[in-house]
Amino acid sequence: MGKALNLRSLLRAGQNINIADLDSAATPGYPGHGKPDSEELTAALGETISDWQERFYAESRLDSTPTRSILVVLQGLDTAGKGGTIRHVFGLIDPQGLKIYAFKVPTEEELSHDFLWRIRRQLPGRGMIGIFDRSHYEDVLVVRVNSLVEEEVWQARYEIINQFEAELAEAGVTIIKCFLHISPETQKDRLLQRLIDPRKHWKYSPGDVKVRRRWPDYMTAYEAVLNRCSTEVAPWYVIPSDNKWYRNWAVARLLEEHLEELAPDWPKADFNVEDEIAAVEQSLA
């Protein structure tokens, strides 16, 4: 099986995106033959990622190495697969290296601060891979669609977000923003599945169908995000997500490409190895 080269360039959001033009069932860069070999391909990526992740974490334990972390931002409408991606992709990695946070409706305390306050509190520490299930982008998505603040407030946020992300990148955070793109038909199927299977009832809320009815408004809001907040240091990637197996593979592959570029290495010992071997040998002798 061939190896997909540079999925980043294939999935990176272009300019003046019209979401209706993007195929949510496409499988760009996929090196296999559809679903049948996807589990194997993603598991193989999981092993490579696990190895890189351990080096990335190890490197961060020494004071002499640069301060680096990774932040994966997952956005998408209900049923797009944010939770499924975390489970199937990030579930392949040592959970000690992950910091997962799901942003909900802001609390009263969170609303009493600027919209980035709660985001900053959940940023991954040194050597960690952070995963945001929803993010600061909700403040120009649900907030915009429902006019939760004045237009001049949300209009200003695109630039505030770009500055925030530039600041993070400058501070050593590699930002990987994934828009999990599904069609309205796929959402319908998945919502119905949640209703038909009693084991999935807990994932459904009557509010979901209300949000679904605002689909065109959400597309407009997502287009603004993709067109105004895909920057050189923090580009957006559009992940066609009608096929769960492709979505999982693609997010894993994007993470692998970024880790490969970061190329963390095992840190050098900052002690004398021979002396320590002797000390251990002699201890409790």
Query: What residues make contact with its own copies under the rule CB under 8 A?
Result: 58-59, 61-62, 83, 86-87, 90-91, 93-96, 98, 100, 102, 133, 184, 188, 191-192, 195-196, 198-199, 201-206, 209, 212-213, 215, 266-269, 271, 273, 276-277, 279-281, 283-284
**79 or 230: whose CB is closer to its own copies?**
79
Closer to its own copies at the Cβ: 55 or 157?
55
Nearest to 93 by CA among 35, 60, 52: 52
Distance CA 171, CA 68 (A): 8
Of the candidates 71, 86, 15, 22, the residue with the CA atom closest to the CA atom of residue 247 = 86
Which of 3, 268 has the CB closer to its own copies?
Answer: 268
Rounded to a whole number of angstroms, the minimum distance from the CB of residue 82 to its own copies is: 10
What span, in angstroms and rounded, lies between the C-alpha atoms of 120 and 136?
10
Note whether 250 and 29 are within 8 A (CB). yes
- Considering the complex, state which of residue 31 and residue 84 has its C-beta at the smaller distance from its own copies: 84
Closer to its own copies by Cβ: residue 34 or 201: 201
The residue (of 58 and 262) whose beta carbon lies closer to its own copies is 58
CB of 17 to its own copies, least distance (A): 21
CB of 199 to its own copies, least distance (A): 5
Decide: helix, strand or coil at residue 184: helix
Smallest gap, in angstroms, from Cβ of residue 269 to its own copies?
4
For the chain, the farthest-separated pair of C-alpha atoms sits apart, in whole angstroms, at 74
In Å, how far are 5, 8, 32, 41, 186 from 2, measured between CA atoms?
A: 9, 17, 8, 11, 29
How far apart are alpha carbons 256 and 65 in whole angstroms?
A: 21
Question: CB of residue 229 vs its own copies: minimum separation in angstroms?
Answer: 26
Partner residues linked to 238 by β-bridges: 179
Which amino acid, residue 19? I
CB of 232 to its own copies, least distance (A): 30
Contact of 219 with 20, CB cutoff 8 Å: yes
